[in-house]
């Protein structure tokens, strides 16, 4: 086995380890009603992608095809980055604030009084139509997909807090 083959096997193994770590993190989120996060179906698709890439990569051990090995290692890396990207995007909400965490772990904190409006945009893939809700403040916006776990609780909380702060008025929708 060449050095390149060994390197690609290590990269794929690391990608697989990251997926396992993310699964453990996902399991710790379950049951937390004040956290908005991705669904389990998304994670299962990602596991399938990484496992299939790994199995195909292992099948190249005897063939020693460097091109095939590169392709599957890149697939594993891209799949892992994609997985980490979406799993790290969370929204934690409490009685007084909203904490939005992005891919790199950066946190932005908003109070309910900062939220001014929202807009719902349709997104579609070949097999699924879903919606993304964008919440707007003075200078920033953040988004949440309607398929995320605890989305309905979060939207209700934002609207209820807006009503409480604005004489019973609902959160206004923004014009596209």
Query: Of the given ranges (12-21, 39-48, 128-137, 164-173), which has the lowest mean pLDDT?
Result: 39-48
Q: Is 115 helix (H, G, I), strand (E, B) or coil?
A: coil
- The answer to whether the CB of 93 falls within 8 A of the CB of 109 is no
Please state the separation of Cα 49 from the chain's center in Å: 16
pLDDT confidence of 89, banded at 50, 70, 90?
confident
- Render pLDDT for 24-33 as a digit per residue (tens, 0 to 9): 777 777 778 8
Say yes or no to pLDDT of 50 above 70. Answer: no
How far from chain centre, in Å, is Cα 30?
15
| Both tokens assigned to 153 | 């609780």
């Amino acid at each position: 086995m060449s050095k390149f083959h060994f390197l690609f096997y290590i990269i794929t193994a690391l990608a697989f380890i990251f997926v396992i770590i993310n699964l453990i993190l996902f399991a710790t989120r379950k049951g937390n009603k004040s956290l908005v996060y991705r669904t389990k179906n998304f994670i299962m698709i990602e596991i399938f992608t990484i496992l299939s890439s790994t199995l195909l990569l292992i099948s190249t051990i005897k063939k020693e095809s460097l091109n095939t090995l590169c392709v599957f290692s890149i697939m594993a890396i891209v799949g892992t980055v994609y997985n980490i990207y979406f799993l790290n995007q969370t929204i934690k909400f409490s009685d007084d604030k909203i904490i939005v965490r992005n891919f790199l772990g950066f946190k932005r904190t908003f109070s309910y009084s900062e939220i001014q409006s929202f807009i719902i945009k349709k997104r579609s893939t070949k097999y699924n139509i879903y919606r993304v809700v964008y919440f707007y403040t003075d200078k920033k916006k953040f988004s949440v997909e309607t398929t995320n776990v605890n989305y309905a609780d979060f939207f209700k909380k934002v609207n209820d807090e807006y009503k409480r702060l604005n004489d019973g008025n609902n959160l206004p929708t923004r014009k596209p």
